[in-house]
Every structure is written in structure tokens, then in C-alpha cells.
Chains A and B, each alone.
Chain A
Amino acid sequence: MHFLSIVEIGRRYRSGTLTPRDYVEHLIARVKRLDGKLNAFLHLDERAARADADKAGAELAKGHDRGAFHGIPVGIKDIVAIAGDVTTAHSRVHDPKPETRDAAAVAALRDAGAFPFGKLALHEHALGGPAFDLPAPSARNPWDLSRMPGGSSSGSGAALAAGLMPAAIGTDTGGSIRGPAGFCGIVGLKPTYERVSRQGVLPLAWSLDHIGPMTRDVRDNALMLNAMTNGAEDFAREIGRPIAGMRVAYAKAWHMRDVPCEPAVAEAMDAAAERLRSLGAEVVEIDPGEFAAYGSTNWTILAAEAFAVHEKVMRERPEDYGARARELFAAGAFVSAADYIRAQRARTTLKAKLDAILDTHDALLCAGAGLQPCAIDDPAAIARLLGSSLRGAFNLSGHPAMALPAGFDAQGLPLHVQLATATNSEAKLYRLAAAFEAADTDKRHPAEFA
């Protein structure tokens, strides 16, 4: 039951073969049994989850159906406000007062009948992990508990892959939805910038922060984006349509030329291109320019804005941060106003380059990272892994971008691809991703959590 899709859970709710309360009890039991080795949860309010499940069950029984997310428990990354809960950011540096209202994304999910299911682990303040000097342990990768799950939405990715919940909210400033989604073998979408309201989410870098859905399959992801945006648009409307004739630009040079790349990743990327071709898409190699320009411009803006957020505490009590976050936040002290403006000017030209590609192609295919997840306690390997990330370009540009499972390497770790489309073209992205996913013949779950 724990790996059911949201579509199937809803079907069972409506046929009377499952109730939200029974489903939540099943998940609570799994969290109690399994999360001790995964560390995906910072806090789970069981009483609230049961009460919310009962309320949803009663509404559904009366025929008051709010749609696909009615009665669905959703994990919340702990920089996203839930009324009555303290938002900790997985850090000693946080406001100890409980939130007075839900973040806009949480409120939208509640309106759709969903309810919060736990505050989830993250890298400290969405930047600094994994780390071992924080008030709570770092989440681990359910495919190999000795490895990092990616971040910063680490708890969200780990909990979904381990079957502890069917959906989770993530945030993404340089790849923080797509990284853990890719490394944990689930689906994560960074929507178009400001598609989902940032209200009630602790900022990392205002002009780069995105909020988005994390699920185990593409259709569930589209339905979650529907719910997070109050049904403003049906993002699932193109799922199931053929992709024959769609033009896909393949940025092979990014992983082959610009970052360290494992053979398994290179092979998976070429196999993904072939899979799209076999579905009738036209896949052509393009070169958007050296990735270092995108990555360094993203990091410069991120560092400057994040330092502005954390400046006071960094000056007065830097020892309250974990060592990793402390050092990363300090980088922003070395970005001058002129540097920041130079980076914003570069951002405009880099976005224009990607716009030009996406004006003439339906999507851009590229790797999420050149390397596979490394040991969680090896700082040098983690630095190499982060240096192989190819995700920040789409935080700069604001284009929607998704991490999508693409098989497994020889060690049994999930591989993934990244797909991006033009601004506000999420429906097209879901169409392409769903076709890609449907042609995937290797759908497994982590052995320790099956």
C-alpha cells in the first residue's frame, strides 16, 4: 500500500476499499518502524494527521469531494510554515515561536483536501548539508543508507522513495528539488519562477527560490502542482498525448565537457535521448555554452542574497550554524554590489540563450549532475558531487525543470535525467515526462523499504 500512486489511493478512497485514516495509520507505523535509519522526519504530529485524515474521510463519505488530493498526506520541508508549528530550517538558527499561519502552498493544499504529514529534514537553511553538527541528523539515501540523498530537500526525497508518504513539498534555489528527486529515484519539479507562491517559506535567495511538488510519478506530480496553485490550470491536461514530432534539444556538452561525469551517467543520458527518439521525438544535440557561466552566476547571486538574509546572525553568533552552512553563507561576504549587478546582467544574457533554445525546441534534455550520490560523511566527495551539478541554470532562467528517473547504475543507485521547457510550459513538460516514464521498464523500490 505504501508505494501506491495518489491516483490509485484516490480510487480506493472513492470505492470505499481504503479510508484516509487507515492509510495514515499505515504510514505512521512505517515512519515509526523505518525512519530511525532514514532520518527523513524532523517532527510528525500524529494527532493532527489523524484528525485531518478523519475530517477528509468524513467529507468524502458525505460526497464532498475536493479532487485528486482530498485525503492525501503531504510531507512539508521544514522551511515551509505550518500554522501552530515552529519552522526550524533544520538549524539552531530559527525563530522559536510557532507560525501563526500556513504558507500559501500549504494553504492551497489544505483547500484541495490534503493535509501536512510531518516536517521533513533538509540541509541547514536549504544550503548547508549534509552535516553532523546540527540539532537533528541528516537524512540518508534509502537506496544506500551510507550515501547522501541529495539536497537540500533531502527528507522529502528520502521519505518518498522509502514509501513513507505519497507527496512532499520541496524548494529549489540551485537544484534542491531536482537533486534529491534524482538521487532518490522519484519525480521532482521546479516550476516556473513564482508559479507557486513563496509566501510563508523561509528565503534562501529571493530571486532564485522556487517551491514545487515531489512525488513518485509524473501524473501525481502534475496533480500536486494543480493543488499547490489552487487549480489555476490543469497541468495534467497533456499527459497521455503522443510526443511524436516534438523537438528536444540535448545539451550533451554540459555533462561530457563541463563537469566530471561518470560513465553510467553518460550512458543513461544517451539512452534517454534514444528512448525519446523511439517515442517519435526529434532529439538534436545543442550547446548552450559552458555550464560554468551558469553555475557561477547562480552561485554568486545565491551567495549574495543568502548573506543578506543571514547577515545579522552571521555577524553576531556564527557558531550557532553548522560548520558547513556557516562557511557557505560566508561566501556572500565576498560579493560586492558590483559583482552582484554583473551577475544579474549575465543572468539576463544566459536566460536569453536558454529562451532561444526553447523557442525553437519543445524541451531541453540534460543531466542533473555528472556524478552519482556519494558517501554522506565524505566532505571532499560531496564537494565534487556538488561541483558536477547542472541544475542552477534553470534557477537563473526561471524555466520549469524536472528530475525524472532513468534507470539504475551497476550499484543499484537510481539514475535520472533533467528536462526543461519554456516559461509557463509545465503542461508540455509533464506530457513529455509521462511518455518517457511510461517507456521505463525498470520500476523498483529500495530493498530495505519494500
Chain B
Amino acid sequence: MADTDTATEILARARMAGLHRFAELYPDALIRAGEGMARHLANIPASDDPATEPATYFTP
């Protein structure tokens, strides 16, 4: 389970995303979701290859 500072930060981010009601009703679920997402974000490999820049797939 997240420490108090981490939990507070997760709930603040959730409110910034508009999940005020969610944060009131289900704070533990949000904290679990935030912690889980952080673990996944840490696994994403970095890419500085210009061929992967967004302009290559967000074509108008």
C-alpha cells in the first residue's frame, strides 16, 4: 500500500483529471490504480529515434 505522501499525490492527480466524485467514493481503488500505472510507466523503453516522433504517425 502506498505511503501517505504517495497516496495524497495520487488522489490529487485524480482530482486534476476530474475524478472528484470517484476520489470521494473509492479512494483506495484510485490509489491502487495510480500505483499500478506507475509500475507500468517505468517499464516503457525510451526511444529517441526520430522515426518514432509523433509527426510520423499523427499525419494530417
Residues of A within 8 A of B (CB): 292-293, 295-297, 299-300, 303, 307, 311, 314-319, 323, 326-328, 330-335, 339, 341-346, 348-350
Contacts and interface: CB of A to CB of B under 8 A. Distances in A.
A327 B32 contact: yes
B45 A350 contact: yes
A331 B33 contact: yes
A314 B20 CA distance: 10
A326 B39 CA distance: 19
A292 B22 CA distance: 29
A228 to B, nearest CB: 26
B52 interface: yes
B46 A334 contact: no
B3 interface: no
9 contacts: A293-B45, A295-B40, A300-B37, A318-B19, A327-B29, A331-B33, A334-B17, A335-B37, A346-B46
Contacts of B13: 333-334
A331 B36 contact: yes
A110 to B, nearest CB: 34
B1 interface: no
Contacts, number: 110
B29 A295 contact: no
Contact of B19 (A315, A343, A344, A346): A315
A335 B47 contact: no
B38 A326 contact: no
A291 to B, nearest CB: 10
B43 A345 contact: no
A349 B34 contact: no
Interface residues of B, number: 35
A344 B54 contact: yes
B35 to A, nearest CB: 9
Interface in B14-56: 14, 17-22, 25-26, 29-30, 32-34, 36-47, 49, 51-54, 56
A341 B44 CA distance: 11
Given A316-B21, A318-B25, A339-B41, A328 B47 contact: no
Given A333-B13, A334-B34, A345-B52, 13 more contacts: A300-B40, A300-B44, A317-B21, A318-B19, A318-B26, A327-B30, A330-B14, A333-B33, A334-B14, A334-B33, A339-B41, A345-B54, A349-B47
B44 A330 contact: no
A293 to B, nearest CB: 5
Contact of A346 (B20, B29, B36, B44): B44
B52 A296 contact: no
A342 B57 CA distance: 13
Interface of B: 10, 13-14, 17-22, 25-26, 29-30, 32-34, 36-47, 49, 51-54, 56-57
A323 B29 contact: yes
B47 A348 contact: yes
A296 B33 contact: no
A344 B56 CA distance: 11
Contacts of B45: 293, 297, 346, 349-350
A327 B19 contact: no
B46 A342 contact: yes
A292 B41 CA distance: 10
B47 A330 contact: no
Contacts of B44: 293, 296-297, 300, 339, 342-343, 346
A350 B42 CA distance: 16
A299 B40 contact: yes
Nearest to A349: B47
